[in-house]
Structure 1
Amino acid sequence: MRKLLTGILFVAISGGLQAQELLSEIDTKEENKKEFVRNAFKSSRVINGHSMEFIGKGVLDVRILHRFGELNSGASNLFGLDEANMRLGFDYGLSNNLTVGVGRSTAGKELDGFLKYRPVWQSTGPGSFPFSIVLVTGITVGTMPWSDTSHKYNFNHRMAFYNEVIIGRKFSERFSLQVSPIFIHRNLVSLATDENDVYAIGVGARFKLSKRIAFVADYHYVAKGLDKHIYKDPLSVGFDIETGGHVFQLHFSNATGMNEKAFITNTTSDWGKGEVRFGFNLSRVFSIGKK
């Protein structure tokens, strides 16, 4: 009997040790597995500008961007709520790293389209990379009738282009930061003294306050190409509120335009003078591809 009990105890201990070794191997494999970092931002845009986040393959993102009038317009204008500009956009994920989008803005009656690609995705584990790199190229087309009918304009005069590189990192579950150099070319400018090429640097940040609410901000410094006595750097701050399939954003901004060419090259309002607009962005995603 003693020998039998000893044998059973030996087998149990050996089996336990083997199980621990197997679990240890599984844990090691899990630790060594490459993982991509997700949810740096809750939306594919910070507020105005693109974020380093993507919407995913087979996902359609319907976006409604809304800007009211300036707060300092007074009570007669209900502090800007009596007027509004908006952009309706449709973004579609061709893959997890490639998105195409189109939109139409009431400000300037502009059509816009863009292509967004992520060649480098922040990850952890073997072969990981510490930050994401995203490339964006876009085009805008104005559809307003020409105010000067004495001059003959061509279709290409309505067009503008932009190229952008986004370099960003999710530092923790709470904090993400990105920097984005941007080049904009306008085929037609208002004055002969204006430059066709504009260079800017954007900064976007997100700080998570709770499970469903985050503080977000984006700022674009115009380095060259605009008269700073007339045009101002666009600055926007706000809050993301996640509600299931929706991301609802409340914000304040001195920019009226809602595409890169518009908000970087056409912002004339000054935060210091109270020329700030209240607005909201609404994002609703639909999975229309194969699961």
Structure 2
Amino acid sequence: MHPTFPLYRGRLASLLVLLLTAWAGPAWAQDDLLGQLETQATPTAATEVVAATFKSTRLINGHTVETPGQGTMVFLISHRFGTLNSGAYNFFGLDQASIRLGLEYALTDKLEIGIGRSSLEKTLDGFVKYRALRQSTGRRAMPVSVTLFASSALNTLRDDRSWYTTSHRMNYSYQALIARKFNPSLSVQLMPTLIHRNLVEDRTQSNDVYAVGIGGRHKLTKRTSLNAEYYYLVPRTAPTGVRNALALGFDIETGGHIFQLHVTNSQGMIEKFFVANTRGNFFKGDLYFGFNVNRNFTIRPKEGFRK
């Protein structure tokens, strides 16, 4: 045997190992790349509904996109004192007060109805809400929640005018509530609004009042949050002397109750008042301190939870 053959055989074996490694490396890389592409092509996750955009059916004055669960009744007490700048003689507004008592009931998870009675103008009101869309994540994500709202209000004050009929006493409100929960702490809602008034002061006034509301909730702790709400009136439809409604609030959740404390320049607690009849100047002390108390009752449990 030639003395250089073992050396040649060793070099040949090394060359074969090097070639196999070079061939296998791209193959492994190709398999890894195909695996990544396959993972990206697979849907990321199942669709999941975003819950608790707001803690209550009310933001401050107005409604939120939320409805109670099916079979749940909400008893709502809304209270509004007089203005803080009314002076010591009126105990800074505490001697004066208006109140609204309301009942709301969820026929389904999407459909809610409600009635209420306000001491202001002795007004009776009723409403219906429908959750058209719900924000979700995952395969078929929906970026926002949308709830449709409609209400009517009847002024029941005594009036001796012969021509003043029930039709003249009626007002109607329509809203699209559009909300997004950006993270566990921040939720924002947009509220395009139409108020129709059957009777106005004179022919220079529009029967239809258009407004765009915006509001939000910032969670502070597990059970508390700061809320804000603002309604901008479209100038050409705004009634004479009426201002944009502004409200700031603080929510406290205690089990089945939600306490909402707030200040606002609006005395009324339904849409016909706080959208189309706010007279107070928020920045000149025309501030009404008030609160909402929400209590939920399960009237009819869902089928899946019955024993």
TM-score bracket for this pair, using the shorter chain length = 0.7 to 0.9
Residue 166 of structure 1 is aligned with which of 163, 173, 177?
Answer: 177
Judge conservation of contact 1:51–1:204 (CA < 8 Å) in 2: no
Other-structure match for 1:42: 55
Query: One-letter code of the match for 2:147?
Result: V
Report the number of matched residues.
260
Residue 226 of structure 1 is aligned with which of 226, 238, 245?
Answer: 238
Other-structure match for 2:85: 72
> For structure 1, which runs of at least 5 residues remain unmatched after alignment?
1-27
Judge conservation of contact 1:207–1:214 (CA < 8 Å) in 2: yes
Query: One-letter code of the match for 1:74?
Result: G
Residue 282 of structure 2 is aligned with which of 267, 271, 291?
Answer: 271
Query: One-letter code of the match for 1:102?
Result: I
The two structures have a TM-score, normalised by structure 2, of 0.82
Other-structure match for 1:176: 187
Judge conservation of contact 2:75–2:104 (CA < 8 Å) in 1: yes
**1:208-227 counterparts in 2 under 5 A?**
208-223=219-234, 224-227=236-239
What is the distance in 1 between the residues matched to 2:76 and 2:57? 10
Other-structure match for 2:129: 116
Distance 1:227 1:158, change over 3 A: closer
Other-structure match for 1:13: none
Query: One-letter code of the match for 1:245?
Result: G
User: Which has the greater radius of gyration?
Assistant: 2
What is the distance in 1 between the residues matched to 2:139 and 2:50? 13
Structure 1 residue 52 displacement after superposition: 1.2
The two structures have a TM-score, normalised by structure 1, of 0.86
Judge conservation of contact 1:54–1:99 (CA < 8 Å) in 2: yes
SS at match of 1:108: helix
What is the distance in 2 between the residues matched to 1:80 and 1:153? 33
What is the distance in 2 between the residues matched to 1:127 and 1:192? 50
**1:233-272 counterparts in 2 under 5 A?**
233-272=244-283
Structure 1 residue 126 displacement after superposition: 1.8
Structure 1 residue 227 displacement after superposition: 3.9
What is the distance in 2 between the residues matched to 1:43 and 1:240? 9
What is the distance in 1 between the residues matched to 2:115 and 2:214? 23
Q: Which runs of 4+ in 1 moved over 4 A?
A: none
Other-structure match for 1:25: none
Q: What is the RMSD of the two structures over their aligned residues, measured on CA atoms? A: 1.4
Judge conservation of contact 1:235–1:253 (CA < 8 Å) in 2: yes
Query: One-letter code of the match for 1:185?
Result: H
Query: One-letter code of the match for 2:177?
Result: I
> For structure 2, which runs of at least 5 residues remain unmatched after alignment?
1-41, 303-307
**1:188-199 counterparts in 2 under 5 A?**
188-199=199-210
